[in-house]
Amino acid sequence: MDGSNDHLISALAADLQPVRPLPPPALRTLFWLILVAAVAAALATFADVAGMWHRMTAVPDMWLAGLGSIATMATAAFAAFEVSLPDRSRAWALLPLPTVALWVGASGLGCMRAFVLPDTHIAAIGETRDCLLFIIGLSVPLSVALIVMLRRAYSLAPPLTAAMVGLASAAAAATLLNFFHPFDASATDLAVHAVAVVIVVAAARALGSRMLENSLAGRVTIPPAGSN
């Protein structure tokens, strides 16, 4: 065996600390979803839940869009936990794509209806700005919570993992926005939601991947060769 490998192995063995194997990704996803549910329960105390329920059940595209965002939140979080493991396929990142298609497709249908039915409430500029701030503002703590949960993992693709974190958080925030969204989706509103989601995913990819990389760095100190 090569001397440097020998030296490295001795150093790694000396550095060994007991570790608890990570729980399965599905279980960890569930923990995060419970956290989101707790936030939802807290927000529901301020929201007009009956009104929301009435809006959601009035037309199929509304509840389909809600279902799409909820499913995206769950599948993206699960994909983040999967790709954070070094031996799992990166193809897990494709898992949220069908649910994203459902979410965007159903929201797009709602937007079409705004053209057909003239008396539909169209969001004003001020309201769309509030939507943008709500999605971004709520995504930050949800992303941070996910990244903290991912810190013990070791992703070989931190940007991809972080992008999944952003998507899951943005989908969760967009789902929770339904509590305070007393109007149907117009083209501008839908565009604002899309922009908010893209901003969150891009920011998570840029900042989150750095945070995930930092959490891995500096865990082992290898003494220089010949010191032992």
Partner 1 sequence: MAAAQTGDRVAYETLLRDCVSFIVSVARRQGVPSDRTDDVVQEVLLTVHRARATYDPRRSFNVWLGVIVERRAIDMLRQIHRRGAREVHSPLAYESHADEAVDLSAGIEHKEKVDRIGAALAELPRRQREAVHHLMLDEKSLADAAELTGRSKGSLKVNLHRALNALRLKMDRGD
Is position 125 an interface residue for partner 1 (rule: CB under 8 A)?
Answer: no
| Site membership for partner 1, residue 19 (CB under 8 A) | yes
Q: Which value, to the nearest 10 degrees, does the dihedral of the CA atoms of residues 107, 164, 92, 194 take?
A: 20
Near partner 1 by CB under 8 A: residue from 58, 156, 198, 202: 156
Q: Which stretch binds partner 1 (CB under 8 A): 14-22, 53-61, 65-73, 198-206?
A: 14-22
51, 60, 86, 137: residue in contact with partner 1 (rule CB under 8 A): 86
Rounded Cα distance between 148 and 80, Å, is: 12
Quote the CA–CA distance of 168 and 146 in Å, as a whole number: 9
Using the contact rule CB under 8 A, the part of the chain among 28-36, 59-67, 153-161, 197-205 near partner 1 is: 153-161
Near partner 1 in 169-198, by CB under 8 A: none
**Among 14, 44, 49, 101, which residue sits at the site for partner 1 (rule: CB under 8 A)?**
14
* Identity of the residue numbered 175: T
Nearest one of 97, 69, 70 to 193, comparing CA atoms? 69
Classify the C-alpha dihedral 95-97-98-103 as positive or negative: positive
Q: Using CB under 8 A, which of 154, 159, 195, 203 touches partner 1?
A: 154
Q: Is 9 in the site for partner 1 (CB under 8 A)?
A: yes
* Least distance to partner 1, CB of residue 78, Å: 16
Is 5 an interacting residue with respect to partner 1 (CB under 8 A)? Answer: yes
Residue whose CB is less far from partner 1, 150 or 185: 150
Q: Does 226 bind partner 1 (CB under 8 A)?
A: no
Does the footprint of partner 1 cover residue 38 (CB under 8 A)? no
Stretch that binds partner 1, among 7-15, 30-38, 43-51, 191-199 (CB under 8 A): 7-15
Name the site residues for partner 1 (rule: CB under 8 A): 1-2, 4-5, 8-10, 12-22, 24, 84-88, 152-154, 156, 216, 219-220
